Structure 1
Amino acid sequence: MSEHEDEQLVGEYPYLPKQKRAQLKRQALLESGRALFIEKGYEQTNAKEIALHAGVAIGTFYRYFTDKRQLMLSLLDDQLAKLLPPEPSWSNVNPEAFFAALLEQHYNHLEVLGLHRVLPELLLKDSQLAEVISAARKKIHARIYSSLKKAKEKGKVWQDLDLETVSWSIMVLSDQVPEKQKESGNQTDYYELAKVICRLVFPPEVLEKLKKESHEA
């Protein structure tokens, strides 16, 4: 999230503490908000519950945040990019192994953060945040498309496939891991997912050549 987008979304805080004790109270509110949003959902959580969970008075909550939305957006600050699917790399690497590692790292981070479980609910209620997320996804798509176009100019990708469609397909496949795990009840094999994506991008002979070159490098 850029500084301009951050200011528009989060708005001005009532008060930003400078003393250590006050900073700890504010951080306790943030951590309590995160825990309750994940446990109960955004709509089912209110400021009073967050303050109680943090062990502070409700007045302390409103001293630092205008409402629970501002607290939630504070949690998302600098994290939005990490909630979106990672971008693959097609150069100087084994594409399958590299992208598998990237996907695993991404989803391990999401599990630690936990906020991806709340985001779909929040996006339905917050059109401004939804617009920012949509713009961020379009930027990722544009970068994937650009890298595929360069690879196509070098004859590395399927010549008869529409690159825009391939780019969105990569994003959709990368983005649906939590839903897949929920529906199937099985953990995702990131290497198998990366193999599917790479075979969507590269002809077999090109993929084998890239893997061989990365092994020899």
Structure 2
Amino acid sequence: MSDDEKLVGEFPFLPKQERAQAKRNALIESGYTLFQAKGYENTTAKDIAAHAGVATGTFYRYFSDKRQLLMSLLKNQIETYLPPDINWISNDPVSTLASSLENHYNRIHEFGLRHVLPELLSKDLELADVLENARGRIHARILSGLKQAREKGLIWNDLDLDTVSWAIMVIVENGLDRLAEKKCTYQDLAKLICRMVFPPSVLNQLCGSDAETSE
């Protein structure tokens, strides 16, 4: 059983008829809307049912509780919220990374529910465990990419790549708030990360004269 399947659990009933499927889908859409607007704690199963135009009993016909509905929304989406793969071996790593970050943050905006996760993590140990496993997979991919770049002689020789990989994850995970506050740009984040990884001479060579490495 996958992490996603463990999170969601077994549904009370999975409809096959079109009319019943429409009711279930309406509940999912209603839950998504209310979780976004009110947060997880302030949304009840009764609220979701009323917003969908069905009885509360209908909600429990399809979902065990509001958590199961939320987990069904998050299914296969956990890694959407985590740092993307990074191509360190690029002719212009700063621009490549900036573009990757922009696409990553746009996906988060499109899916939504980002601010619901912190509400749950301190209380839902199962979700926290799944998220930590996902972070571990992302960390491993970043670390692997850095090792490849080191083999090509592109990055600092004395970097502890494991630590740097975690530092990059923290920067990317918190970057969305900085961008929302207009305190930085995608290019700013990409430059910060690349300056951690590449010696100035290599970064200037790869990025050209626009890659200034001194303030």
Which residue pairs with 1:211 in the alignment? 207
1:161 aligns with 2:159: yes
Tell me by how many angstroms 1:208 deviates: 2.9
- Matching residue within 134, 137, 147 for 2:135: 137
> CA separation of 1:123/1:139 partners in 2, compared to 1, >3 Å: closer, same or farther?
same
Choose the corresponding residue for 1:100, options 98, 113, 129: 98
1:13-52 equivalence runs, <5 A: 13-52=11-50
What letter corresponds to residue 81 of structure 2 in structure 1? L
Aligned residues: 208
Contact 2:179 2:185 in 1 (8 A): no
- Match in the other structure for 1:195: 191
What does residue 177 of structure 1 align with? 175
Shift of 1:6: 2.0
Map Cα deviations across residues 100-148 of structure 1 (whole Å, 9 max, x no partner). Answer: 1111111112112211110111111100010010011011111111211
- The correspondence of residues 59-98 of structure 1 with structure 2, limited to 5 A, is 59-98=57-96
**1:30 & 1:154 partners in 2: Cα distance?**
48
Q: Does structure 1 conserve the Cα–Cα contact (< 8 Å) formed by 2:90 and 2:96?
A: no
Give the aligned CA root-mean-square deviation in angstroms: 1.6
Select which of 56, 59, 64 maps to 1:58.
Answer: 56
Q: 2:133 is matched by which residue type in structure 1?
A: A
What is the identity, as a one-letter code, of the residue corresponding to 2:154?
A: K
The answer for unaligned runs of 5 or more in structure 1 is 213-217
3-state SS in 2 of match to 1:14: coil
Cα distance in structure 2, aligned partners of 1:47 and 1:113: 21
Deviations 1:15-45 (A, max 9, x none): 1112222222111111111111121111111
Measure, in 1, the Cα distance between the counterparts of 2:39 and 2:90: 43
1:109 correspondence with 2:115: no
In structure 2, stretches of 5+ residues that fail to align are 209-215
- In the alignment, the residues of structure 2 paired with residue 61 and residue 23 of structure 1 have an alpha-carbon distance, to the nearest angstrom, of 12
Per-residue CA distance 1:23-75 (angstroms, 9 max, x = gap): 22111111111111121111111100000011111111111101001000000
Deviates more, 1:47-56 or 1:100-109: 100-109
From the two aligned structures, give the one with the greater helix fraction: 1
Give the ranges of 4+ consecutive aligned residues of structure 1 lying more than 4 Å apart after TM superposition.
Answer: none
- Please point out which of 117, 120, 145 is paired with 2:118: 120
Q: Quick one: structure 1 residues 113 and 127, their matched pair in 2 at CA, closer, same or farther if it must change by over 3 Å?
A: same
TM-score (normalised: structure 1): 0.90
SS of residue in 2 equivalent to 1:115: coil
Q: Which amino acid is the alignment partner of residue 189 of structure 1?
A: T
Q: 3-state DSSP class of the match of 1:7? A: helix
When normalised by structure 2's length, the TM-score is: 0.91
Name the residue aligned to 2:211. none
